[in-house]
Structure 1
């Protein structure tokens, strides 16, 4: 069995992950805060047909890339690779494996 984390390390490049900040106030309303950016290592690849079948239907039309990383990736993170910005549309839950897999959609 292939160790996916080792394969990711071999293909990963530096990308920027931006995550929105904020907190709930005492009234329970979301108050946006400053975005936090970090450089992570990730492999970005075009999505293949069989990978589309693993996604919920509403995401399939927008998702065009897959992201594999050993750094945490959350829904709605923004990944910047070679000057192109992508939004994380879907993250597959992982119970093991020490890596994250996400579907990305290109931002205008």
Structure 2
């Protein structure tokens, strides 16, 4: 059996993962987003294939065009920037037992 984590390491490049951290409610009870925090991680980004779309919830299939594989944590709504192109994480499949994360990405305009 192939060790997926080793394959991911072989195809990965440096990308920037940006995540909103914190946040709070103001005096009026409105939610104020936290500050964006950027980190460099290693990830492989590839176009999505038809059979991979079947693993996604229906509402995400139309927007997802790329898959991201990384050994670093990826969460829904993270922004991944690679080669000057930014993507939003739409759905994730954490694989703790395999030591990697898989995420569906949608390109940001």
Shared fold (TM-score greater than 0.5)?
yes
TM-score for the superposition, normalised by structure 1: 0.93
Q: Which has the higher strand share?
A: 2
Residues 1:30 and 2:47 are matched in the alignment: no
| Gap regions ≥5 residues in structure 2 | none
**Structure 1 alignment gaps of length 5 or more:** none
Shift in Å at residue 32 of structure 1? Answer: 1.5
Instruction: Give the alignment's Cα RMSD to 1 decimal.
Output: 1.6
Equivalence for 1:9: 9
TM-score, length of structure 2 as denominator length: 0.92
CA displacement, residues 21-51 of structure 1 (integer Å, 9 cap, x when unaligned): 2234498763312100000000000000000
Larger deviation, residues 89-98 vs 68-77: 89-98
